[in-house]
Amino acid sequence: MSNTDTICHSEPIEESQPLPASWTRTRLLDVSRHHSGNSKLIKGKLSSEPGNGLFPAFSATGQDVWRDGFESDGDAVIVSAVGARCGKCFLASGKWSAIANTHVVWPKPEAIDRKFLWYRINDERFWIRSGTAQPFVVVRKTFERPFPLPPLPEQRRIVAEIEKQFTRLEAGVAALRRVQANLHRYRAAVLKAACEGRLVPTEAQTRKTFETGAQLLQRILKQRRDNWTGKGKYKEPAATDTTGLPKLPEGWTWASIDQLAYETMIGLDRGRAQQSYDAASGVPYIKMNNVTMEGRVLYDDMAYVPASTEEAARFAVQDGDILFNTRNSKELVGKVGFVRNPPDGAIYNNNLMRIRVPRGVAPAFLCLQMCSHEFRRRMELVKKATTNVAAVYAKDLLPLAIALPPLAEQERIVAEVERRLSVVEELSALVTANLQRATRLRQSILQKAFTGELI
């Protein structure tokens, strides 16, 4: 039997549990009738928006299309029959249609409550599934599988208790989601204040004499000219266009990324066939999924690739490097990560650009500024997007504006941002842990419901 034909018998937990006295074992075949959705109705040919004279239709991802007619009238359960989430179920009422890649289950009202049926079978473990590349539910075998069923009045009491407990649980989850959103807004506000000189006292407020951002920029540019050892005539880095940019605090100036970065380089291209999760197969390979939207580079789930001595040296990463994600989905392109404590010998791939800055620029300050909403809005204007992929090219990224304060102020800003965001990260981790706990609690409620322990 090939991998694509492997059948997954994921036994429901309650099959091994003793039954309450009033319960019996039955089969879906005995308490419902069923049929496939209409394979001639294709999702891509139906309306994705409701309208006058249109009726809801169910695809394998739920009720997300409409059509000018209906095939069924009444209460049923629609099963996603094909795809990664096959076994997911949806309630259908009134006039509707089930289209390709679905299966329809009509409960016999004298035997099983529709809501009880939905809660019971809306579980991937309930369905026997087959296939790996394109999973699907094995309908006949699943409908013949025995499962515990209480009397109809008890089914209704169980449904009422499930929904009471779920209502409380969902209220808690909604509160956690609000906390998540508030933490996200606070993080954005901290970065905005940092980039506008409002987070810590400025040099102009604390010192009478200091090197301004404009003087610092000129010193950096002079050092680059003086240290030029390349071929041909030295070319000045592109300045930024300050039209429409806000006024900066005293002592700050606008600069371009090109002026502040003495090196920018795209990484090494290694396709999937050359990547392995065996550390003995090569050097650690940082990819775009290792860069977060919060400005970090994570080293979990690292891939490893072969690299020559020359490649390993050319594409090495070190503390203080900035990795910019040049190519990704429309939402994720432009992620920026600050490299700290990279694995020995780590290199980076060709969807990332390595940015290195000279003395006088705190790389962590540049990174946090490139993570801010204000910088991302400027980046959005130069992003090139197709249907599925977006890119930010070096010629468009390097002229973008960066606010440059004096070095001492950069370092104070970085320290204050890290202090505040460390609290945000601790709270975010706590919220995430509680959301995961809520998911486990939901599963526990259902498990108890179907083993006679809920009421």
| 187-222: pLDDT as tens digits | 999 999 999 999 999 999 999 899 999 999 999 999
What is the DSSP-derived secondary structure letter of residue 97? E
Question: 382 near 392, Cβ under 8 Å?
Answer: yes
Query: Do the bridges between strand 283-286 and strand 347-348 make them parallel or antiparallel, or are there none, so unpaired?
Result: parallel
For residues 220 and 331, state if they share a domain.
Answer: yes
For 159, the domain range is: 152-206+407-455
What is the pTM assigned to this prediction?
0.81
216 and 257 inside one domain: yes
User: 257 and 372 in one domain?
Assistant: yes
Q: Note whether 389 and 336 are same-domain residues.
A: yes
Shared domain check, 372 and 243: yes
- What are the C-alpha distances in Å from 140 to residues 27, 33, 91, 127? 11, 12, 21, 10
Q: How does residue 2 score in pLDDT terms, banded at 50, 70 and 90?
A: very low
pLDDT of 1 reads 39
Dump pLDDT digits (tens) for 160-175: 999 999 999 999 999 9
Q: pLDDT tens-digit profile of 7-22? A: 555 555 455 567 888 9
Q: Whole-number mean pLDDT of the chain?
A: 93
297 with 353, same domain: the answer is yes
Note the pLDDT tens digit of each residue in 233-252: 999 999 999 999 999 999 99
Eight-state DSSP code of residue 382? T
Same domain, 75 and 223: no
Tokens at 285, concatenated: 């390979």
Domain's final residue, options 390, 405, 420:
405
**Do 17 and 74 lie in a common domain?**
yes
Measured CA to CA, the distance from residue 98 to residue 120 in angstroms comes to 20
Counted domains in the chain: 3
Look at residue 221 in the predicted model and tell me its pLDDT: 96
Q: Are residues 367 and 434 in the same domain?
A: no
Please tell me the distance from the alpha carbon of residue 143 to that of residue 36, in angstroms, as a whole number: 13
Q: Are 108 and 32 in contact (CB under 8 A)?
A: yes
167-170: Cβ within 8 A, 24+ apart: 169/438, 169/441, 169/442, 169/445
Digit-coded pLDDT (tens) for 404-438: 999 999 999 999 999 999 999 999 999 999 999 99
Identify whether residues 319 and 415 lie together within a single domain: no
**197 lies in the same domain as 312:** no
pLDDT score of 4: 44
pLDDT surpasses 50 at 349: yes
Question: Could you say which DSSP state residue 94 is in?
Answer: S
- The reply to whether 42 and 93 lie within a common domain is yes
User: For the domain that residue 55 is a member of, what is the CATH number?
Assistant: 3.90.220.20
Last residue of a domain, one of 384, 405, 426: 405
The tens digit of pLDDT for each residue in 95-114 reads 999 999 999 999 999 999 99
Q: Is residue 364 classed as helix, strand or coil in its secondary structure?
A: helix
**Rounded Cα gap, residues 373 and 336, in angstroms:** 12
